[in-house]
Amino acid sequence: MANAYFLDSSTLVKRYVTETGSAWVQALTDPQVGNSIIVVRITWVEVLSAFGRRQREGSLTAAEVVETIDKFRSELNSQYRVIEVDQAIFEKAGELVVQYPLRAYDAMQLAAAMRIRSLVSQMPDTQLVFVSADDRLLNIAQTEGLVTDNPNNYP
């Protein structure tokens, strides 16, 4: 069975900034492995926000942030399948924030993953795995029937 991985921003940051789970995420996203890596367009803003926060906190220099953003931009355009946000995803995210204690962008991530799940379910022998380092988001994703994984489980 082949896996397609939907990575939320908390996971994708680990590819670019060393923290718990980084080695696992780097292995998962290695192009030579051949996994299908899916992200939603808003991930760009969330990941850059994380880089900026690390610069303000002093764990990344301004030069490292510029270099990391350049690398992320290149890989976003060449290694990830990027899902555009449309009206249906907005509507589903709105339903999710009413139903669950989710932040707005987490609801967008989950709504996009749920959309992709319906597409992947039509592909024989392929399973979508929703990957996040946010336990609350993972619990809600599981409630919604998604297969999940947490990079923090792989130190």
The full set of domains in the chain, from first to last, is: 2-42+80-153 (3.40.50)
The end-to-end CA distance of the chain, in Å, is: 25
Look at residue 3 in the predicted model and tell me its pLDDT. Answer: 84
Predicted confidence band at 1 (pLDDT cuts at 50, 70, 90)?
Answer: low
Does the reported pTM lie above 0.85?
yes
Residues above pLDDT 90, as percent of the chain: 90
Res 62 pLDDT > 90: yes
pLDDT, residue 100, reads 98
Tell me if residue 4 falls in helix, strand or coil. strand
- Give per-residue pLDDT as tens, 2-53: 789 999 999 999 999 999 999 999 999 999 998 999 999 999 999 999 999 9
Is 61 within 8 Å of 55 (Cβ atoms)?
yes
CB atoms within 10 A of CB 54: 19
